[in-house]
Amino acid sequence: MQTPRSDGRASDEHLRALSVALDTNSRASGSSYVELGNTKVSCAVYGPRRPRVDDLTVNTGVIDVDVFRVPFARKRAIHVERGRENEREKDLNRSAADVELSARIADVLRACALTETFPRAQVDVYVTIMDSDGGEVVASVLAASAALARAGVEMADLASACELVRIGERLVLDPTEEECERGNGKVFLAQMSSEEGMVQGETFGRWTADESRRALEQCAAGCNRFDTIVREALAKS
Amino acid sequence: MGGDRAYARDGVADDCREDGRGRATRRALRMAIGVVPNANGSCAVTLGETSCVAAVRCDVTAIEAWEASDVGAIVLRVDASSIATTRAGRAAAVGETLRRRLESVVAGRERGVSDASGRASGSGVDAWDGGGIDLRSLCVRPGRARWTLAVDAVCACDRGSMLDALSVAVRGALADTKIPKVSLVGVGSDGEGGELEIDDDPDACTRVDVSRCGVVATTTKIGKHGVVDATDEEEACAEASMSVGVDRDGMVCGEFTTGGETLDRGTADAMRKLSCRVGVELIEAMDAFLATAVAANKIDEDEDGRVMVVRVRK
């Protein structure tokens, strides 16, 4: 007998409802709006355009990602930590965590997009996190890859992502913020679902090698289910 | 595929890399503890040409009413300046990535759950899984005062496998850390008031227990094979890489993968296995050194005892 989860889901393997809307922004080359439970992310892709000189690469295109977080999507105000009060991080909406999140999403997109198809050009991806209740990285990856596809950027495959949290002995898929806080281990996986190629994986906490492998497998199954939903939305549009 | 890539691939396939190492051989690791005089603990590490320094400073800080009352804190900061790293991307993002990973592997704190709130360190003791450092050992007086260990790690030169070197440096610095003895004097009969007296006599100091802290071993996939401790040239030719934090019991305490189409889960399992094996070897060598070096450091006479060199095994 499995304990139902705090948000009413019956099983640890259940994902939250994912809804994907495309072309939500009339000015962008491609755009999307993704809701994963209470987590809401909007993404707009602009370009291709001529890159700045210092970003110019010869054989491949550039994908630049910026993640913004609306102030009310934050749970608490950020405290300025010791030694972290430098210029770039003074702006409360651009914490180091968000800059890192941008870099992570950029890594995923660069692995999936065929950047050699638009050499000497740049595509800008703007991700806006509008509400956050766990899984904001998952929602951001799904939104960005859908928007990139809508913008007509050639990709090896769509990127899909999923998270998992270990609470005691339970492995809970697609956790809410509250479940994340109770957990003592967390796995994030971004993959290309048609090939099951791991694009980015992060495991935190203490695991045996077997447990860690099993958690990744469960995440991969979650990725596949999200991937199907995004694919359906793209096919319909 | 460029010529350099083909060259690196062929070398790896023949189990003879550019610098003559086999696939599962580390570069020479050199570490020294007690290198920063005004820190409570410090460690400098060079791994081939990659080098970094970590230092720990201990401060007694007040426990605020809203914080957990019986635990200390560890604040980790990683400085990845653009001089030190050749990696593409903004230095702030690189530093933040390294920080999160180190915090998980070495300090056992970051659970990957802090991204919404900016920082969630110090919390989650109920959910502590026994890895890293027991923060309860850093409590000075429940509800009033605690030790805050400020750990600063600085990348000096990134010639590949920076995270591996940093993890050794941070773990070494924590093992070297001498926490002064604190006693409470002048407490009133009602249990209130009183002052903390800090005694920094080296003989009276306590040590941080790092036996559950991990180190990182990165396996890089070049062609069909995984290699450990890649140089920056090899990293540039890599198709995928997996950094695995391993503790002394061989438990995985953090795993960070970047890959792509060609990285299936079977390959990932093989890379994890290799990383775990190499990580456990590294931690054993490190602990053997720390056991003697920390003792030598106490009486502060034997310079040589504080430096470890692990030579390349051919």
CA nearest A77 in B: which residue? B117
Q: Do A75 and B116 touch (CB under 8 A)?
A: yes
CB contact under 8 A, A82 and B77: yes
Residue B275 contacts A where some CB pair is shorter than 8 Å: no
Is A199's CB within 8 Å of B260's CB? yes
A98-101's contacts with Cβ under 8 Å and 24+ in sequence apart are A98/A67, A98/A68, A98/A69, A99/A67, A99/B90, A99/B92, A99/B93, A99/B96, A100/B92, A100/B93, A100/B96, A100/B97, A100/B100, A101/A67, A101/A137, A101/A140, A101/B115
Q: Give the model's pLDDT for residue B55.
A: 95
Contact A199, A162 (CB under 8 A): no
Confidence of residue A232 (pLDDT cuts 50, 70, 90): very high
Q: What is the DSSP string of chain A?
A: -PPPPTTS-SSTTPPPPEEEEE---SSSSEEEEEEETTEEEEEEEEEEEPPPGGG--SSS-EEEEEEEE-GGG-SSPPPPPTT--SHHHHSTTS-HHHHHHHHHHHHHHHHHB-GGGSTT-EEEEEEEEEE-SS-HHHHHHHHHHHHHHHTT--BSS-EEEEEEEEETTEEEES--HHHHHH-SEEEEEEEETTTTEEEEEEEEE-B-HHHHHHHHHHHHHHHHHHHHHHHHHHHH-
Q: Identify the three-state secondary structure at position B284.
A: helix
| Contact in structure between A130 and A42 (CB atoms under 8 Å) | yes
A154 touches chain B (CB under 8 A): no
Name the minimum distance, in Å, from the CA of B191 to any CA of chain A.
32
DSSP letters, A13-59, are TPPPPEEEEE---SSSSEEEEEEETTEEEEEEEEEEEPPPGGG--SS
A56-65, A156-165, B118-127, B213-222: which range is least confident on average? B118-127
Confidence of residue A126 (pLDDT cuts 50, 70, 90): very high
pTM of the model: 0.87
| A89, A103, A202 ranked by CB distance to B89: nearest | A103
Nearest to A204 among B130, B250, B254 (CB): B254
Q: What residue has token string 């929602």?
A: A139
Q: Which domains does chain B have, with CATH numbers?
A: 11-309 (3.30.230.70)
**Confidence tier at A88 by pLDDT (50, 70, 90):** very low
Q: What is the ipTM of this complex?
A: 0.85
In chain A, what are the domains? 18-236 (3.30.230.70)
Mean pLDDT over the full length of chain A: 86
Query: Would the CB atoms of A78 and B259 count as touching at under 8 Å?
Result: no
In the chain, the amino acid numbered B280 is V
Shortest alpha-carbon distance between residue B210 and chain A (Å): 15
- Touching check for B266 and chain A: CB below 8 Å? no
Q: With 80 as the cut, is the pLDDT of residue A2 above it?
A: no
For residue range A180-195, list pLDDT tens digits in order. 888 888 999 999 988 8
**Chain A residue closest to B259 (CA)?**
A199
Q: Please check whether residue B270 touches A, CB under 8 A.
A: no
Nearest-neighbour CA in chain B from A100: distance (Å): 4
- Judged by a CB distance cut-off of 8 A, whether residue A139 touches chain B is no
Q: So what's the pLDDT on residue A59?
A: 81
> Would you list the DSSP string of B28-51?
PEEEEES--TTSSEEEEEEETTEE
- pLDDT of amino acid A114: 92
Closest C-alpha among A135, A111, A109 to residue A124: A109
Q: Give me the phi and psi of B193, to 5 degrees please.
A: 75, -165
pLDDT per position as a tens digit, A211-222: 999 999 999 999
Q: What is the pLDDT along chain B (314 residues), one digit of tens a residue?
A: 578 888 888 888 888 888 888 888 889 899 898 888 889 999 999 999 999 999 999 988 888 777 777 888 888 889 887 777 665 556 777 888 888 888 888 877 655 444 333 333 434 444 556 677 888 888 888 888 888 999 999 999 888 899 999 999 999 999 999 888 887 777 666 666 677 777 767 777 888 888 888 999 999 999 888 999 999 889 888 889 999 999 888 889 899 999 888 888 889 999 999 999 999 999 998 888 888 877 765 544 445 566 666 554 43
Per-residue confidence (pLDDT) for residue A224, from 0 to 100: 95
pLDDT of residue A163: 95
Picking from B92, B127, B272, the nearest residue to A99 by CB comes out as B92
pLDDT at A167: 87
B5 touches chain A (CB under 8 A): no
A88–chain B Cβ distance below 8 A for any pair: yes
A-chain residue closest to B110, CA distance:
A204
